[in-house]
Structure 1
Amino acid sequence: MTRATAAATAGHVFFELAAGVGMPLASLLGPFTAAAAWAVGTGTAWRAAGSRPARDDPAFAVLNSVSLAAVIAHLAGWPSRRTRLGIPWLTDCEGLGPRLMPYYNPILYVSGAAAVTAVLLENDSAPRRLPLLTLPLVPLLVAAQRAEHRRLKAIAETRPAWWNRRLAARTHVGPGSAPER
């Protein structure tokens, strides 16, 4: 399940890049360096999770807990509504817009479910309290997501490109058009 968590988390960040809102760290490192870092990190986690000795359980418990905290931070920090089942469903997130939410929400939920399952069923030799790291991380990650989004919007305004096109579209108003709200 740690492998599934790593893959789903990568799917989440690369979906954001492909959708034209950037990805985590793109505002600081640039899109190519950030994508390379995410790809290398995902590949490393994937390989290690498949052959890890028990002594690595604490590191994987941290990875799974941080991934879970990131999902919770998205659900807590961006506009949402409640589904019939009572779970939050994002209506917009990081500039993706409502049209992409039917695709983005399931990616987040798969990532979160994989992380929860990994936290509960794997990493047996890690301290049992280590997943509690998730709780204080959520507000920190909400703040980090919002700060990254503000930086990405500022970059899109001054240097629109393929990787931030959706944010540029929201910050620039063309002739005869109104800004999106």
Structure 2
Amino acid sequence: MKTAARIAIVAVLLVLAAPLRAAVPSLSEVAGRYAVVASGSRLAFTVTAVGGPGIRGRFARFDGTIDIPADSVDRARVTITIYPDSVTTGQKRIDDFLKSDAVFDTANEQAIIFRSTRVRRTGEDTATIEGNLTARGRTFEETFHVRLAEAQGGNLHFHVQGKVFRSRYGMDVGTPIYSNVVDFDMDLASRRR
């Protein structure tokens, strides 16, 4: 009886998991050019601090394109533009500091741009994206981890995470009290053009 019960449980789990596996679309189904849209998107970041809450914020304005060819995920291309003057933490004093020349220098720097150079599939619905991040006139290669969270009609929704060393971009004010690492946690909604 115990063996029969185990087989029944495994069978039920396989039946329940089948729709999840089927939810991952084929490459040909999602191929095309997509525009990142604000509705449903969130571009958040965290900088931890020693003995304190750190800084949690987000960017309210950003845009981008995602190009997915039908033949290979490896040839996909991503471009994201972030407008640093839209940074918000919910605290005006911190927002003003982040916009100052100590960090984003929004009086002179209008955009932070990421352009992918390589996309590598790591699982059925995951990939790593390597590319050049340019901020404050400095460009360095960065890596982000991506998961396809949803594909519906002409819309794709990605969850993206990555870590960036802010000192590379001349934004290391406050270290070591504030971490040199910026943790990005993003949800990017995109619509097929």
TM class, shorter-length: under 0.3
Structure with greater helix percent: 1
Q: Say which one has the larger Rg.
A: 2
TM-score, structure 2 length as denominator?
0.25
Relative to its length, the structure with more strand (as a share) is 2
User: What TM-score do the two structures reach when normalised by structure 1?
Assistant: 0.26
Higher RCO (CA 8 Å, separation ≥ 6 residues): 1
